[in-house]
């Protein structure tokens, strides 16, 4: 089937306003772009250089496209029960008690809460805990550099309505809240990737569940919002976008941060993919297909590059601009802090300019970074040397791990200034 024919055959929105089981969002434009000259060139180069076609089988693309209508039924059942009764505060209290003492310690625990914790505790058949540990260690090795990288590549996704609109409608990443929300996300990355962070009773496992429920609360409220266009975008915080987020924490930095001197092996990157797959599982992200090799991850990246409609408009632009200004110094702060924050802001902007595509940087009218755009490259010599030593002397791997953990803890503590991540859903939408 040609790309044009495939696009024409894409299932339509159900006439009563509910998605058919095989529905594909209107803004999923993969087949419309598949015959474009850049796509044909990428496929030709991929076959010659990589040895495989970057375009995956069509049925796999369709499964991915349909996942934009998939949510989290188990967590949604609990959230719906709480929303109909006591609300988020009571739900959070029940979950915190169950996390601390076990679900059996919760008096009159709702059946939906028990099902949620049964789901959390049941290990998926594909789980390899040694691979999870290796992936977490490989992710930790990037230190705080991966935080700025991951924040930057998210800006590419802000061109898409399914990603930008939830943030724009809730105001979660707008204005002064952007810095705190980004740091909350960094707190989550730290918690889940600490040694044993995903074990029963560990902070990372608890954070994964809290974020999972926060997403469901927001999803339910957004679905009722008059501006939400499910026919075009799918459901809010859907499985498709969540899958790409997991790749953004594993496959993407595994390749891109080599520019800074990091040297993850192929096995390290695949272990990071497995680690983030398990993090996603705890968060209710259960796509019908998850890449398990670099080849499959590259094919998913090809689909992600082609599928975009880039119709988020001013909402996406404002989100990108808010991120670029997130670490700007406070004019009312003491002079010493202003100087320190000014440097932090320029480094933040430099990472953004270095890792964000030139087209996106121009389109979103982000401020010039000047020579600060070279900051990631300046780290290459010492990082490459340390990585090479670590490879030559296996005993140094533990040393490198401890140093990276200390570095990211210091980075986070300085910027949070004693505050804690709450993982609370937005209570009022900005429009």
Question: pLDDT tens across 159-201, in order?
Answer: 999 999 999 998 877 766 899 899 999 999 999 999 999 999 9
For residue 364, what are the CA distances in angstroms to 28, 322, 367?
Answer: 22, 11, 9
Q: What is the pTM of this model?
A: 0.92
Structure tokens at 152: 């930057």
Q: Which residues contact 372 (CB under 8 A, 6 or more apart)?
A: 346, 347, 349, 350, 353
Using the Cα atoms of residue 402, residue 291, residue 354 and residue 237 in order, give the sign of their dihedral. Answer: negative
Separation between Cα atoms, residue 91 and residue 96, nearest integer Å: 9
Residues of the chain with pLDDT under 50: 1-18
Domain range summary for the chain, segments of one domain joined by +? 73-416
Q: What is the pLDDT of residues 349-381, one digit of tens each?
A: 999 999 999 999 999 999 999 999 999 999 999
Residue 185's CB is within 10 A of a number of other CB atoms, namely: 18
**How confident is the prediction for the chain on average, in pLDDT?**
90
């Amino acid at each position: 089937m040609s790309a044009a024919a495939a696009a024409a055959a894409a299932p339509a929105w159900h006439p009563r306003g509910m998605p058919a089981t095989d529905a594909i969002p209107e803004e999923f434009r993969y087949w419309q772009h598949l015959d474009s000259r850049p796509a044909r060139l990428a496929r030709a180069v991929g076959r010659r250089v990589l040895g495989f076609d970057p375009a995956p089988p069509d049925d796999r693309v369709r499964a991915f496209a349909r996942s934009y209508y998939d949510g989290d039924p188990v967590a949604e059942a609990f959230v719906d029960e709480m929303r109909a009764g006591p609300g988020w505060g009571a739900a959070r209290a029940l979950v915190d008690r169950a996390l601390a003492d076990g679900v059996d310690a919760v008096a009159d625990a709702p059946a939906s809460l028990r099902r949620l914790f049964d789901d959390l505790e049941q290990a998926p058949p594909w789980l390899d805990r040694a691979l999870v540990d290796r992936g977490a260690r490989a992710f930790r090795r990037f230190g705080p550099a991966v935080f700025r990288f991951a924040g930057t590549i998210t800006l590419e996704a802000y061109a898409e309505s399914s990603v930008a609109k939830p943030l724009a409608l809730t105001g979660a990443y707008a204005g002064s809240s952007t810095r705190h929300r980004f740091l909350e996300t960094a707190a989550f990355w730290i918690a889940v990737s600490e040694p044993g962070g995903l074990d029963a009773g560990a902070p990372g496992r608890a954070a994964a569940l809290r974020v999972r429920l926060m997403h469901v609360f927001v999803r339910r409220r957004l679905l009722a919002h008059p501006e939400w266009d499910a026919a075009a975008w799918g459901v809010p915080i859907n499985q498709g976008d969540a899958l790409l987020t997991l790749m953004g924490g594993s496959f993407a930095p595994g390749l891109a941060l080599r520019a800074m001197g990091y040297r993850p092996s192929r096995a390290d990157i695949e272990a990071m993919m497995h680690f983030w797959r398990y993090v996603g599982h705890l968060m209710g992200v259960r796509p019908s297909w998850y890449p398990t090799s670099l080849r499959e991850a590259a094919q998913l990246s090809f689909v992600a590059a082609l599928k975009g409609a880039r119709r988020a408009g001013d909402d996406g632009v404002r989100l990108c601009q808010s991120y670029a200004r997130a670490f700007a110094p406070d004019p009312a702060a003491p002079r010493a802090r202003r100087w320190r924050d000014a440097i932090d802001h320029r480094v933040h902007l430099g990472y953004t300019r270095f890792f964000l595509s030139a087209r996106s940087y121009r389109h979103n009218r982000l401020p010039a970074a000047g020579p600060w755009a070279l900051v990631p490259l300046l780290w290459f010599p010492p990082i490459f040397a340390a990585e090479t030593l670590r490879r030559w002397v296996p005993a140094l791997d533990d040393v490198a791990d401890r140093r990276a953990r200390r570095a990211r803890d210091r980075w986070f503590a300085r910027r949070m200034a004693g505050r804690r991540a709450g993982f609370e859903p937005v209570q009022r939408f900005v429009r």
